[in-house]
Structure 1
Amino acid sequence: MKTYQKLMLGCAAIVPALAMANSAFAQANGVAISDPETVILTAKALDAANQSISTTYKAQLDQASARQAALQTEMATLGAPLDTNKDKRLSDEEIAAAQAARNPILAKMEAAQKTAQAESARLSAPATRAQAWAIEQISQKYSAAVKTVVDSKKISLLLSANSVQYSAPAVDMTDEIKAALDAANPTVSITPPANWQPSQQTAQLQQQFQQLVYLSAVRRAQAQQAGGAAAAPAAGAKAPSGR
């Protein structure tokens, strides 16, 4: 598993004098904001935990990946009769036509998908549980990191960035809190207690993390496809003839 760069709104560049004025204004009023999810999900400890998990549970994760790959092959084989234009993909129109005809192949495909997903979840469960344990430990350290920054910056009111409509860049303490968290907790355990179960907050954070992983993978695939498309004409272009 890999961790991914935090997703935050970019801020326009500000001249040094204005940045200093904003910082002084924020400190004078003692008001700041932070994005807790960004701090926790981009923590150095989570990165280290994911690397350890990918090594410790490599066999199970490889089996889960292989099961997903097998599912793709199985779905392609099952769905082949529904592919009326033979382009090796099922369009919305082809699926709608199969639904209208009550084609039993759709039920077989759905059953195959459910079975594969259940098997993949079972295989990856130890790694998933270990990651949830790491996230929960880090989230429990967030308050201490906040206190470190609040005390050092003399902040009297810290708001969640998600509930603020606008703030000057200098008011955002997310990076400072992340630095404090990373310094105090560079690593966490990936071995949960025997009877431990993730809290609802931990489950939500882990779901957000997995969504970020998925979106990052999609963007990388799109970038690779765009790069390949751009390189193709160049590779096939004729060199200008010399005179």
Structure 2
Amino acid sequence: MKTITKTSLVAAAGMAAALVAGGAVAQTAGIATVQPDAAILSAKAFDAANQQIATTYKTQLDQAASQQTALNTQLRTLLDTNKDGQVSQAELQAAQAPNSAIGNQIRAAQQKAEPQIESLQRPATLAQAYAIEQISQKYDAALRAVVNAKKISIVLTPNAIQYAPPATDVTRDVIAEIDRSTPTVTITPPANWQPQQDTVQLLQQYRQIVAANAQRQAQAAPGAGAAAAPATTGKAPQGR
């Protein structure tokens, strides 16, 4: 499970902007491309929301992080069968073998600890989803504003075409328009609120970015082990 922590939320602020391709932002011959997910996740309002979430839910996030650390330590201890302080690829594969006693102990430990961790994370996760959904609702208007200002006739997503020059990408223009029209959003959803399925997918994509960044940092740290304990995926709220 990738635990949401105050540190990870703050460190990830603005990180989704890496999804946006570099280069000029002028459209070409009335045709432009836009990355909707990057436009939404790179909005300044989402950065600000993450900062606020990290502060508002600090107690719950710290408790979840502490319990996740304890679980990770327990899993590494179980996996490190030769007690050399590292988890080798062979030890990891042995635990993943069918009917492995170590594997069964790992699953039991996860099943015991993860519901409480997810319960502690859930308010922050819902707050993130609510922030994303509010920004998503501003995307169409922002895109229309850019289309009208630049006299664009056709807008495509990058994966819909085989090639387009960098000047075709107006994602940064859409981000700027969202930032102008929606500088902030609230992080407190209404009672019994549940996110749309598109919101859940965007939240999962964002958390994957955070997790990948954390993994790169862990691998670059001195003394990183040969293999890590098997990760589990934190659950995003169900969409409707």
Instruction: Determine if the TM-score, normalized by the shorter chain, exceeds 0.5.
Output: yes
User: Do structure 1's residue 117 and structure 2's residue 128 form an aligned pair?
Assistant: no
Match of 2:75 in 1: 75
**1:7 aligned partner, one-letter code:** A
- Structure 2 letter corresponding to 1:6: A
Q: CA deviation at 1:99?
A: 6.5
SS of match in other structure, 1:158: strand
Aligned to 1:156: 153
| 1:209-231 CA-partner distances (Å, limit 9, x unpaired) | 000111122223344449xxxxx
Contact kept, 8 Å, 2:79 with 2:87, in 1: the verdict is yes
Residues 107 and 136 of structure 1: CA distance in aligned 2, closer, same or farther (over 3 Å): same
Mapped to 1, the partners of 2:101 and 2:168 lie a distance apart of 59
Q: 1:109 offset after TM fit, Å?
A: 1.7
1:122-161 paired onto structure 2 within 5 Å: 122-161=119-158
Runs of 4+ off more than 6 Å: none
Aligned to 1:177: 174
Deviations 1:32-61 (A, max 9, x none): 110001000111000000000000000000
How far apart are 1:94 and its partner, in Å?
3.0
Given the alignment of the two structures, is residue 51 of structure 1 paired with residue 62 of structure 2, yes or no?
Answer: no
Aligned runs of 1:1-243 on 2, under 5 Å? 1-2=9-10, 3=13, 4-8=15-19, 23=26, 26=28, 29-80=29-80, 83-84=81-82, 86-97=83-94, 102-225=99-222
| 2:21–2:169 contact (8 Å) kept in structure 1 | no
Q: Secondary structure at the match of 2:18?
A: coil
Give the Cα separation in 2 of the matches to 1:76 and 1:43: 38
Structure 1: distance between partners of 2:21 and 2:141 = 27
User: Which structure has the greater CA radius of gyration?
Assistant: 1
Residue 230 of structure 2 corresponds to which residue in structure 1? Answer: none
Give, as a single letter, the amino acid of the residue that structure 2 aligns with 1:36: P
Distance 1:97 1:216, change over 3 A: closer
Q: Percent identity over the alignment?
A: 48
- CA shift, 1:113, in A, is 1.5
Letter in 2 for 1:213: V
* Residue ranges of structure 2 left out of the alignment (5+ in a row): 1-8, 224-240
SS in 2 for 1:6: helix
Distance 2:135 2:20 in 1: 23
102-111 or 200-209: bigger deviation: 102-111
Paired residues, number: 212
* One-letter code aligned to 2:186: S
Q: 1:109 and 1:223, CA in 2 relative to 1: closer, same or farther beyond 3 A?
A: closer
Q: Secondary structure at the match of 1:7?
A: helix
Aligned-residue offset at 1:9: 7.1
SS of the residue corresponding to residue 32 of structure 1 reads strand
